[in-house]
C-alpha cells in the first residue's frame, strides 16, 4: 500500500493557470457556478467597461461602477457562449451600455416625477393660500354685512342658517308665529343678498 506522502495531488479542472483561463473557460465555468470565473472576468474586463460607460454617458465613476456591477450580475446569471476574449468583451460592453441606458431612463423618469410633484405642491400651496385669502375676505365681508343687522335679525339667521333649525322650531323658541318668522328670515336674507352685490 502506497504511503500518503508519495501520492500525487491532482488539481481540479478549475485550477488552470491564469494563462489558460480564456473566454471559453470563463463562460463554461460560469455556467457551472464558478466564482473564480466571475473574478477572472472582472479582473480582465472591468476597467475597460468602466472607461467605456463613462465615455459614452459622460457620467462619473460611481455611475459606471454601478453599471459594471449589474453587467457582472447578468454575466453570472446568463453567460454567453464565447470562444475569444474579443467576443466576451464585446458582449460585456453591449450589456453595460444597455444597463447604463436603462439607468439613465429610470433616473430621467424619477427626476420628471419629482419635478411634477414639486410643481403640484407649489401649485397646491399657492391655491391654498388663495383660498385662505378668499375665505378671509368673504368672512370680513360677512362680518361687515352682519354688523348692519340688529340683534334679533342676527339671532334669526344664526338659528336658521348656522344651527339649521326649522321655521316652526325657531317660532317656538322665540314665541312668534311661524309665518312671521319665515317672512323675517326671507327679508333679512334678501337684504344680505342685496348688500352682498353692492
Least confident of 42-56, 93-107, 168-182: 168-182
Asked whether residue 159 falls in the same domain as residue 87, the answer is no
- The CATH number linked to 156 is 1.10.10
Q: Let me know whether 160 and 108 are in one domain.
A: no
Q: Report the range of poorest mean pLDDT among 4-18, 85-99, 100-114, 121-135.
A: 4-18
Regarding whether 96 and 21 lie in a shared domain, the answer is yes
Same structural domain for residues 98 and 160? Answer: no
Q: What is the CATH number of the domain that holds 30?
A: 1.10.1740
The pTM score is: 0.53
Lowest-pLDDT range of 101-105, 109-113, 140-144, 145-149: 140-144
Q: Are residues 41 and 94 in the same domain?
A: yes
**Contacts (Cβ under 8 Å, ≥6 apart) of 154:** 146
Quote the pLDDT of residue 140: 74
Res 75: pLDDT: 94
Residues 152 and 108 in one domain: no
Provide the pLDDT confidence category of residue 103 given band limits of 50, 70 and 90.
very high
- Looking at the fold, whether 106 and 19 belong to one and the same domain comes out as yes
Q: How many domains does the chain fold into?
A: 2
120 assigned to some structural domain: no
Residue 21 lies in a domain: yes
What pLDDT, in 10s, does the model give residues 31-85? 999 999 999 999 999 999 999 999 999 999 999 999 999 999 999 999 999 889 9
Q: Are residues 109 and 160 in the same domain?
A: no
Range of the domain at 16: 11-114
Residue 22 covered by a domain: yes
Residue 128: inside a domain? no
CB 38 within 8 A of CB 4: no
Share of the chain above pLDDT 90, in %: 40
- The DSSP letter of residue 162 is I
E-only strand ranges, the chain: none
What is the reported pLDDT for 115? 86
Q: Where are the alpha helices (DSSP H) in the chain?
A: 23-31, 35-57, 61-77, 85-146, 151-157, 167-174, 178-197
pLDDT for the residue 159: 82
Statement: residue 197 has pLDDT above 80: no
Considering 64, 98, 114, which residue would you say is the last residue of a domain? 114
The answer to whether residues 41 and 88 touch, using CB atoms and an 8 Å cutoff, is: yes
Amino acid at each position: 500500500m502506497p504511503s500518503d506522502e508519495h501520492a500525487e495531488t491532482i488539481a481540479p479542472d478549475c485550477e488552470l493557470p491564469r494563462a489558460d483561463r480564456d473566454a471559453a473557460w470563463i463562460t463554461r465555468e460560469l455556467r457551472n457556478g464558478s466564482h473564480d470565473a466571475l473574478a477572472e472576468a472582472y479582473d480582465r474586463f472591468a476597467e475597460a467597461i468602466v472607461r467605456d460607460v463613462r465615455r459614452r454617458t459622460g457620467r462619473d465613476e460611481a455611475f459606471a461602477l454601478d453599471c459594471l456591477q449589474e453587467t457582472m450580475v447578468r454575466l453570472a446569471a446568463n453567460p454567453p457562449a464565447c470562444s475569444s476574449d474579443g467576443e466576451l468583451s464585446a458582449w460585456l460592453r453591449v450589456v453595460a451600455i444597455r444597463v447604463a441606458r436603462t439607468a439613465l431612463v429610470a433616473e430621467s423618469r424619477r427626476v420628471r416625477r419629482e419635478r411634477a410633484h414639486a410643481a403640484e405642491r407649489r401649485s397646491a400651496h399657492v391655491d391654498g393660500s388663495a383660498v385662505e385669502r378668499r375665505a378671509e375676505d368673504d368672512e370680513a365681508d360677512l362680518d361687515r354685512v352682519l354688523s348692519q343687522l340688529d340683534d334679533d335679525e342676527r339671532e334669526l339667521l344664526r338659528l336658521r342658517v348656522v344651527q339649521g333649525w326649522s321655521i316652526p322650531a325657531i317660532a317656538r323658541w322665540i314665541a312668534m308665529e311661524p309665518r312671521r318668522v319665515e317672512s323675517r328670515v326671507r327679508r333679512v336674507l334678501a337684504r344680505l343678498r342685496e348688500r352682498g352685490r353692492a
